[in-house]
Amino acid sequence: MKILYLHQYFNTPSMSGGTRSYEMAVRMVKKGHEVHMVTSKRNTSCKRRIWREEIIDGINVYWLSVPYDNKMNFYKRLIAFFIYAFEAGRKAIAINGDIVFATSTPLTIAIPAIKTKKKLKIPMVFEVRDLWPELPIAIGAIKNPILIYLAKRLERWAYSNSNEIVVLSPGMSEGVAKTGYPIENIHTIPNSSDISLFQLNKKLKIGFQNKYKWNVGDKIIIYAGTLGEINGVEYLVDIANEFIEINNKVKFLIVGDGIEEQAIRNKAKIYNCLDNNLFLINQLPKNKMPGLYNLSTIATSLFIPLKEMEANSANKFFDTLAAGKPIVINYGGWQKDLIEKHNIGLVLARDPKVAAKALNELLKNDELLSIMGKNALSLGKSEFSRDKLADKLINVLESYA
């Protein structure tokens, strides 16, 4: 099949951010399919909208220069979404294909996807990575009643034009089904654990250890991901502040960037945590992440207390499984259920004092940390292997061959 794969924010392993689309596309190519990735290059200084084409590991990639940065406010990002949406439809139609596979976010990816589907008269499979527009509405990013109405109409329009819908969690499946979309056409394919990538790079951790001159016996807690409003990573700074008093052999490492980076840095300075027991570094490309995770004692996935976020399928959760490390979160939902069922980590209270005490108790128990890490790796292999889940996605697409 000739697959038109639309993803506005496609990343390769040499770039920072999630690489789900790259990993899925590579496996599609290995199955004998011709994949055309229509995406954008996040170039904050670009003056002209130009396309650049290249072949990456067998994937035909088309990059459109669009000004974008995750520190932009919502409305500036919305402009970037629509610039891409307008141009991507024309590009996909020009390329031609047998099926269009479009992955959100943003939900505006549906615009070029539906345009392509109708013009070429081909089937469309739509992948929902977040429950848009529920999330931006819930956090107050969209407040205007007219915009809320239009966003909800766009959501229904996207679903109604999809032959099949792929979602990344059971909660997302329920959210899509509530709109009236037939449940039998919804396929739950979560984010995945790249076991081989994380298990073959354990020596990479030495570089991190030498750079920060941490003691060999120090326990390292990491957060690796976007520093956005919805992530609430200041919570980890509050916990680090508690650890100054209760355990000075624990270090916290925050890796990433986003609109909240300066606020996090400022709070850490006020607490006298910064470069003491808490460190911030810029986001890393995916192929550098194994070293970071293998250095860690525990990895975290964090969000503000928002019910709508409990359906998330954060890459950092599944990278932690692949690395065979305990996972710590501060929210409910299906990931909380996985942690408790499989004994792979800890769900922290919202109160930083209570959370710090519970986390410190876990860190003192090396035997339990080891058990949780082994359980995490076992779960990653059995339930969230990238190869298994890619086959499931490919089967959905091939049903229209």
Same domain, 66 and 151: yes
User: Cα-flanking dihedrals φ and ψ of residue 113, to 5°?
Assistant: -65, -45
Same domain, 36 and 166: yes
Q: Taking Cα atoms as reference points, which of 330, 26, 361, 305 lies closest to residue 316?
A: 330
pLDDT score of 48: 64
Domains identified in the chain, total number? 2
Same domain, 107 and 155: yes
Q: Check which CATH number belongs to the domain holding 309 and give it.
A: 3.40.50.2000
Same domain, 202 and 115: no
CA 144, 145, 150, 152 torsion-angle sign: positive
User: Cα-flanking dihedrals φ and ψ of residue 232, to 5°?
Assistant: 60, 45
Same domain, 76 and 134: yes
Same domain, 254 and 138: no
Count of CB atoms situated within 10 Å of the CB of 50: 12
Tens digits of pLDDT across the chain (401 residues): 999 999 999 999 999 888 999 999 999 999 999 999 999 987 656 666 789 999 999 999 999 988 776 666 666 777 888 889 999 999 999 999 999 999 987 889 999 999 999 999 999 999 999 887 787 788 777 888 888 898 889 999 999 999 999 999 999 999 999 999 999 999 999 999 999 888 765 555 555 555 666 677 899 999 999 999 899 999 999 999 999 999 999 999 999 999 999 999 999 999 999 999 999 998 888 888 888 898 899 999 999 999 989 999 999 999 999 999 999 999 999 999 999 999 999 999 999 999 999 999 999 999 999 999 999 999 999 999 999 999 999 999 999 98
Domain residues for the domain of 137 are 2-191+385-398
User: Cα-flanking dihedrals φ and ψ of residue 4, to 5°?
Assistant: -90, 105
Same domain, 18 and 149: yes
Same domain, 389 and 287: no
Question: Over the Cα atoms of the chain, what is R_g?
Answer: 21
Same domain, 116 and 152: yes
Same domain, 245 and 338: yes
Same domain, 258 and 133: no
- Is the pTM for the entire model greater than 0.85? yes
What's the rounded Cα separation, in Å, for the pair 98 and 263?
47
Same domain, 183 and 219: no
Q: Is 45 exposed, middle or buried (0-12, 13-18, 19+ CB in 10 A)?
A: exposed
